[in-house]
Amino acid sequence: MRRRRVLDADDIVRSLRRMAHEVVEATRGGADLVVVAIADGGVPVARGLVDTLESIRSVAVPLVVVDPTQFRDDAEPAGDPRWLPPIKVEGRTVVLVDDVVFTGRTARAALEAVLRAGRAQRVLLAVLVDRGHRELPIRPDIVGRNLPTARNEYVVVDAAGVWIEAEGR
């Protein structure tokens, strides 16, 4: 399998800083904000985003994790969505965070989980990487980096950077 790095750790930090500023601008200061990480890949990205938001705003930003597997349309239902910790979204601005958006199915499932949790004032989708190839009309509000890929390539995000992997040479 071929692997090439397209972002290093410093690029990720810069992207998260820019994304945090975009969240503050889009939410007019970020009052009553909650960040919802989409398990599993969205968790480290959301933690980095929350850390950056807190340094910009000097206010604690709640972070919760949701596993939206139950709401996926390409998998068997697995019970109620799991929230860690449980959260009330009623009247709040929710920023859904994932590492990569591809077909849009995970983001759609996570949005369904948020809607089941209550009536948020507003929901934004923030992703570190948008690789294209949408199957649903889902478009992130905040994107760290647009990385066009082939459908047979994979985007891998880890602490050292963002990698594109492909079969063959």
Return the bridge partners of 162, or none. Answer: 7, 157
pLDDT of residue 78: 59
**Domain boundaries 10-147, corresponding CATH code:** 3.40.50.2020
Residue where the block lists tokens 């602490």: 159
Q: Which of 2, 1, 3, 6 is nearest to 162 (CA)?
A: 6
As a whole number, the mean pLDDT across the chain is 91
With a cut of 90, say whether residue 100 has pLDDT above it: yes
Domain definitions of the chain by residue range = 10-147
| Stronger pLDDT, 3 or 145, i.e. the higher one | 145
**The model scores a pTM over 0.85:** yes
Q: Within 13 A of 147's CA, how many CA atoms are on the CB side?
A: 27
Which 8-state DSSP code applies to residue 104?
A: S
Q: How confident is the model at residue 26 (pLDDT cuts 50, 70, 90)?
A: very high
Quick one: pLDDT at residue 80?
61
Contact 126, 110 (CB under 8 A): no
pLDDT range class, residue 71, cuts 50, 70, 90: confident
